Copies of this chain bind each other. A is one copy, B any other.
Amino acid sequence: MKEGKATQQANKEFTEECEVLIGAVGDALYAIGGKWKLMIIIAIARGNNRFTELQRRVKGISARVLSSELKEMELNGFIVKKVSVGYPVLIEYELTPYSHTLEKVVAALTEWGLQHRQKIKDELSSAGGSPS
């Protein structure tokens, strides 16, 4: 059970680093967690700027939830709502520069999601592919 002082010190730093990292993912998940926010960001980034467009693109989201997510995301500085007072009134949602800081996160998550789906598919087809 004995540890030298150097080892103890190393452990302590390791532990602290660990807590910082855990805190950081906690913050990140708090801000962009949930089922929809990242999907909405992807959709807007891909040129879907209008409410109904988003509703169609983000499969399964309801108007109520889309509306409340957009509001929250605007409040938190991820998107801006632009109202063109032309005719008819045109409402568009756009990403702020801040939401572009999420690019790496989105990229990592989509990449992982793609290979994860592939893995699940492979497992299913090898396990239950041709049942007796």
Contacts and interface: CB of A to CB of B under 8 A. Distances in A.
Given A18-B42, A35-B29, A39-B25, A108 B107 contact: yes
Given A33-B35, A46-B17, A113-B27, A22 B57 contact: yes
B101 A14 contact: no
Given A25-B109, A104-B108, 9 more contacts: A18-B57, A22-B58, A24-B109, A25-B42, A27-B114, A27-B120, A33-B33, A102-B112, A105-B108
20 contacts: A18-B57, A19-B57, A20-B114, A21-B46, A22-B57, A22-B58, A24-B117, A25-B110, A26-B39, A26-B113, A27-B113, A27-B116, A27-B120, A29-B35, A29-B38, A31-B116, A33-B33, A104-B108, A104-B111, A105-B105
A114 B46 contact: no
Interface of A: 14-15, 17-29, 31, 33, 35, 38-39, 42-43, 46-48, 57-59, 98, 101-102, 104-117, 119-120
Classify the secondary structure of A's interface with B. Answer: helix
Contacts of A115: 101
